[in-house]
Structure 1
Amino acid sequence: MWIHEINSKMLTFGEFHHLFPDLLSDEKKFFKYFRMSPNKFSELLALIRPDKEKRNTTFRPAISSEERLGTCLRFLATGDSFVTISFSYRQGEKSVRRIVYDTCDAIWKRLSPIYMAPPKEENWQMIEQEFSSRWNFPNCVGAIDGKHIVINKPFHSGSLYYNYIGFCSTVLMAVVDANFKFAMIDVGGYGKNSDGSIFSTCNFGKRFREGTLQIPNDKILPGTHETMPYVLVGDEAFPLQRNLMRPYPGVELSNNEEKKIFNYRLSRARNPSEDAFGILMKIFRLYQRRLELKHTNVNKVVLATCCLHNFLKWNQPHLLAEVIEIEKCDTRQENGALQNLRNIGGAFGGSAYAVREKFKDYFCSPNGSVEWQSGVICKGKQNTDASQLQDNG
């Protein structure tokens, strides 16, 4: 098999071969380059090696498992084109593509049973305890959010992926636990679908509606005799349901401090989902731009990065925080690959409204309030009044 002269010098001049040994001596620089420490690189390699090991042939030596993993991680960390990576690593462009997609498949296959296993009843109970203690929202088992992932229009797809914003997208839907890890994800929804229908038709959305996610039965709110369901918390992109809380609409907030307090407490409990997507975008900078990949390969990349996100959150939180601080970026930038879902309205059942009302009353009661909430609401009102004065001035 013919090899280009440039690529034939891979072992001598390829970026991986002359840089990797030097990076091993500096954990922070290694993490900036590969998004994990040397130890975790080795741990991940051991997990996926059975799927990545290749044998030398008569025509050329095989690309090692280490370099295959490094090639994939470098693509995810930078979002550089396959052409750019093929030149720097001195691999063929087709080889780089195949390596990235195969490695993403292996990462999902080997890591998802460990770091993204479907929660069981005891896992939901643990998540609820953490939301209650860390985010002051009892009975909450996750913050739900979704993003449109900007992609090229798939061939022969018509308008399936063309969304209301005016570009083609597929949707990543996720439930995030109190520690910013993805508890459940679903990727591949059509961009054209309304955001409420994306949730109701995705895999875990269906199971959520059918009650087959092993979420525990209703639980008494702390300090009361009031039995309440376990709930997810979301923003205005999601419908109000008995087990899914969304904010009160703005038109209901005028001169109603209790509803403002509920919205503040819900917004605070939603921080993990907002931050999880922010971390995903900052660590894996391929999300800084449109994903120039086939739709099926977009799914592979997204699944792999979500798994790696959990892998890093469990194992390397200190290094992760340092990289996020150093590589600041706006997670809502116009040209980024992750875009917010659209806010929706719509009718909802009386039981859903009653559950939200009870949470509102609880958060304003001695048993459920936190000492700073009124101050936050008051400060928000003062900022609004000051802004209005400036506008009128």
Structure 2
Amino acid sequence: MQRDEIGTFASLMPELKADEARFQSYCRMSQKTFNELLYTIKDDITKEDTNFRNAIQPELKLMLALRYLATGQSFQSLHYQFRVGNRTARKAVYEVCTAIWHKLSPSEMAPPTKKDYIMIAQQFLDLWQFPNCLGAIGGQRIKIKYPNMTEMQFYKNKGTFSMVLQAVTDANGNFEFVEVDDNGRHCNAGVFKYSSFGRALTDKNLPLPEDASTGESEPLPFVFLGDETYPLLKNLIKPYSRRGLDDLKRKFNYRQNRVRRVVDCAFGMLTAKWGVLQNTMTITAEHAKTITLACCVLHNFVRRREGRPNFSDFELEEEKNLRQATEVTNFGRPAQEALDVRQRFASLFMKT
């Protein structure tokens, strides 16, 4: 068959295997990581030959899918490069992405236990000097074209359609939780309200550690950090309103925002490696979800095996971040308990 003789896989793969740097640039991971990934998902993406045609090799399927995730190029382009049918290329991408999520997420994105949360909090303290922090939460818009649902459900603005990827990251920028909301009209806080993570946090179903002393204060709750679009809860702390800031509130906002931006940096690293998330995907919403989740779990899988780039390469400028327009969902007046928790953190930071 042509793909076995002149397709990209047949002609380029031997060259890539002989040059580790080129392989990593093309597939966005080392050969060692690629081979481990292939071994992990191989059974899920292997098909039997028939009397009419030979099945596509699992290695070719994986390379094709990774190239799509890395570049976001059209299925038509993949069809020409890999000498497979247009529909075959599309099906291979969905098949591989489904396998990646199902096989990797139980280990690479397992829900944290109480013991895990204690370790995560220590990492936030060591790396970012913020005590009792369990994660940074934020959202990233994923653009899609012609979703297979009602236009109003996805319409955002300026004629584009989108879904929202909500994520919680640890201190190193790895994802603890990810969820894709298919209602593009929701802002971050709206996504949080209806997400499984948001419900688990508000219903007190997460295995959070008991309140702990920070050394210079009475025991404080363990908290997640969100931007001003999120609700203020006992275990979810957002900045003070920018109006009328005194020194205490200004210092708290600086410390909180510095740590919360870890999730922004994680999104930056995610989209820099997996370029499909930078583009408008011309696929159904369900397939866009699958592809997005696969990219997120690959983010953890690759970084844990190959190290991490410096956060500074992806950090947003402070002033730009503060000027960025936000949408605020009205959750009503925060409970006094949540206001008190934030005030106690702010008072602590005035002493340190």
Range class of TM-score, shorter chain:
over 0.9
Q: Give 1:16 deviation, angstroms.
A: 1.1
| 2:320 aligned partner | none
User: Whole-Å Cα distance in 2 between the matches of residues 9 and 84 of structure 1?
Assistant: 16
> CA deviation digits over 1:131-178, x for unaligned, max 9?
011111101000000122111242441411223665321111111000
**Structure 1 position 233 matched with structure 2 position 218:** no
Question: What amino acid is aligned across from residue 342 of structure 1 in structure 2?
Answer: E
Q: Which secondary structure does the structure 1 equivalent of 2:53 belong to?
A: coil
> CA deviation digits over 1:329-376, x for unaligned, max 9?
999xxxxxxx996344652121111111110000011xxx2xxxxxxx
| 1:281 aligned partner | 271
| 1:50 aligned partner | 43
8 A contact 1:236–1:344 mirrored in 2: no
| 1:215 aligned partner | 208
Query: For 1:142-291, what aligned pairs fall within 5 Å after superposition?
Result: 142-163=135-156, 167-224=160-217, 226-253=218-245, 256-291=246-281
Question: What amino acid is aligned across from residue 39 of structure 2 in structure 1?
Answer: A
User: Whole-Å Cα distance in 2 between the matches of residues 340 and 180 of structure 1?
Assistant: 23
Q: Give 1:31 deviation, angstroms.
A: 0.9
8 A contact 2:133–2:224 mirrored in 1: yes
Query: For 1:71-150, what aligned pairs fall within 5 Å after superposition?
Result: 71-150=64-143
User: Whole-Å Cα distance in 1 between the matches of residues 315 and 248 of structure 2?
Assistant: 35
Distance 1:353 1:233, change over 3 A: same
Q: Give 1:321 deviation, angstroms.
A: 6.2
Q: Give 1:36 deviation, angstroms.
A: 0.6
8 A contact 1:146–1:341 mirrored in 2: no
User: Whole-Å Cα distance in 2 between the matches of residues 194 and 355 of structure 1?
Assistant: 25
User: Whole-Å Cα distance in 2 between the matches of residues 165 and 183 of structure 1?
Assistant: 32
8 A contact 2:146–2:283 mirrored in 1: no
Q: Which secondary structure does the structure 1 equivalent of 2:283 belong to?
A: coil
Distance 1:341 1:30, change over 3 A: farther
Larger radius of gyration: 1
| 1:388 aligned partner | none
Q: Give structure 2 stretches of 5+ with no counterpart.
A: 318-323
User: Whole-Å Cα distance in 1 between the matches of residues 226 and 30 of structure 2?
Assistant: 34
Aligned residues: 345
**Structure 1 position 308 matched with structure 2 position 293:** no
Q: Which secondary structure does the structure 1 equivalent of 2:154 belong to?
A: coil
Q: Give 1:271 deviation, angstroms.
A: 2.7
Q: Percent of pairs identical after alignment? A: 36
Name the TM-score, length of structure 1 as normaliser. 0.83
Question: What amino acid is aligned across from residue 359 of structure 1 in structure 2?
Answer: F
8 A contact 1:189–1:202 mirrored in 2: no
**Structure 1 position 66 matched with structure 2 position 73:** no
Q: Which secondary structure does the structure 2 equivalent of 1:228 belong to?
A: coil
1:25 to 15, 18, 31: 18
Question: What amino acid is aligned across from residue 289 of structure 2 in structure 1?
Answer: N
> CA deviation digits over 1:195-228, x for unaligned, max 9?
322101111111111111111121112233x111
Moved more, 305-314 or 341-350: 341-350
Question: What amino acid is aligned across from residue 352 of structure 1 in structure 2?
Answer: A
Distance 1:42 1:22, change over 3 A: same
Q: Give 1:57 deviation, angstroms.
A: 2.3
2:288 to 298, 321, 333: 298
> CA deviation digits over 1:80-125, x for unaligned, max 9?
0000011011110000010000000100111001100111111111
Name the TM-score, length of structure 2 as normaliser. 0.92
Question: What amino acid is aligned across from residue 238 of structure 1 in structure 2?
Answer: Y
> CA deviation digits over 1:12-70, x for unaligned, max 9?
11011111111112222111100110001000000001101122222222211100100
User: Whole-Å Cα distance in 1 between the matches of residues 298 and 86 of structure 2?
Assistant: 24
User: Whole-Å Cα distance in 2 between the matches of residues 43 and 244 of structure 1?
Assistant: 37
